[in-house]
């Protein structure tokens, strides 16, 4: 088990519906990452931007983007995660892909599709949560709109790190900042939010606010607004355990079941 986990969160402008162009951009940024990084986190729909044209943009799990992720994981000896448009069994998913350094893959299909933008009209919602065990850390990955739903995010699995990857627009960035802190505090876990910058063909502007928050709601690293950059942070498992044992807030949580 690793007491410390070193994270590199990538905040960038995403080229519209251009997997090859985006891969080239990410590769250039990742080249500068230090050897002690344990996990690289990319934004939501990192290969295309928030496209509602899955028939045009979808890839398979053997496509260019997942293949590139596997190459990065192997070359850098690190895990890498991000979401992209995947076609499977005739359905289209906004799928988060987590690739371990050894090439093994775990996935999560976005449950809460953004009805305001019609995401639910062209994508199929996921039904299961995914808990990832990596270097002794339990990681719970979620996608964008999931952030607004605390029941789905609830820490009833004793996870250590909650990750949200997003295309969250400037017009609602205050909600992003506020809800990330709320999820960290109520779940007593490290929480990372990775958002993009720039603009897209949906006429939306994005300003980033990529950040890492500790189990008490303190921001321990964050980005410069509107700047393409990597936000590096180090998480400490011992500090997490000590804080939980001191306050024991999770021992008083309510029990419930989730229905689709």
pTM over 0.75: yes
| 44 tagged catalytic | yes
Map tokens 């991000």 to a residue.
Answer: 82
Domain chopping of the chain, boundaries? 4-252
CATH assignment of 4-252, among 3.60.110.10, 3.40.50.850, 3.40.20.10, 3.10.400.10: 3.60.110.10
Give the pLDDT of the chain (260 residues) as one tens digit per residue.
789 999 999 999 999 999 999 999 999 999 988 789 999 999 999 999 999 999 999 999 999 999 999 999 999 999 999 999 999 999 999 999 999 999 999 999 999 999 999 999 999 999 999 999 999 999 999 999 999 999 999 999 999 999 999 999 999 999 999 999 999 999 999 999 999 999 999 999 999 999 999 999 999 999 999 999 999 999 999 999 999 999 999 999 998 888 76
Q: Say whether 17 is catalytic.
A: no
pLDDT of residue 32: 87
Residue 13, helix vs strand vs coil: strand
Model pLDDT for residues 114-126, shown as the tens digit of each residue? 999 999 999 999 9
pLDDT of residue 1: 78
Our CA angle for 100, 104, 3, nearest 5°, is 30
Question: Which residues, in sequence order, are CB contacts of 35 under 8 Å at separation 6+?
Answer: 76, 77
Catalytic residue among 17, 70, 119, 144: 144
> Taking a C-beta distance cutoff of 8 angstroms, is the pair 12, 25 a contact?
yes
Phi, psi of 69 (to 5 degrees): -60, -45
The secondary structure of 210-245, three-state, reads: CEEECCCCCEEEECCCCCCEEEEEEEEHHHHHHHHH
Which run of H or of E encompasses 64? helix 64-76
Q: Could you confirm whether 189 is annotated as catalytic?
A: no
Find the catalytic residue in 17, 44, 59, 106.
44
């Amino acid at each position: 088990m690793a007491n410390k986990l070193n994270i590199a969160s990538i905040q960038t402008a995403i080229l519209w519906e251009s997997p090859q162009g985006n891969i080239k951009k990410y590769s250039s940024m990742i080249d500068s990452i230090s050897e002690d990084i344990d996990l690289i986190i990319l934004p939501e729909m990192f290969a295309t931007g928030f496209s509602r044209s899955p028939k045009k943009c979808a890839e398979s799990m053997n496509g260019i983007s997942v293949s590139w992720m596997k190459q990065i994981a192997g070359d850098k000896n690190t895990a890498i995660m991000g979401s992209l448009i995947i076609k499977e069994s005739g359905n289209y998913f906004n799928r988060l892909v987590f690739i371990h350094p050894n090439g093994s893959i775990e996935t999560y299909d976005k449950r809460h599709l953004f009805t305001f933008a019609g995401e639910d009209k062209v994508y199929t919602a996921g039904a299961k949560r995914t808990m990832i065990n990596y270097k002794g850390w339990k990681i719970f990955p979620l996608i964008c709109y999931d952030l607004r739903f605390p029941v789905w995010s609830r820490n009833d699995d004793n996870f250590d790190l909650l990750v949200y990857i997003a295309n969250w627009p400037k017009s609602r960035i205050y909600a992003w900042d506020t809800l990330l802190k709320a999820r960290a505090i109520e779940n007593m876990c490290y929480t990372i939010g990775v958002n993009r910058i720039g603009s897209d063909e949906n006429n939306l502007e994005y300003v980033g606010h990529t950040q890492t928050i500790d189990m008490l709601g303190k921001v321990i690293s964050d980005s410069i607004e509107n700047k393409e950059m990597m936000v590096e942070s180090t998480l400490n498992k011992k500090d997490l355990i000590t804080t939980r044992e001191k306050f024991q807030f999770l021992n008083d949580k309510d029990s419930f079941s989730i229905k689709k």
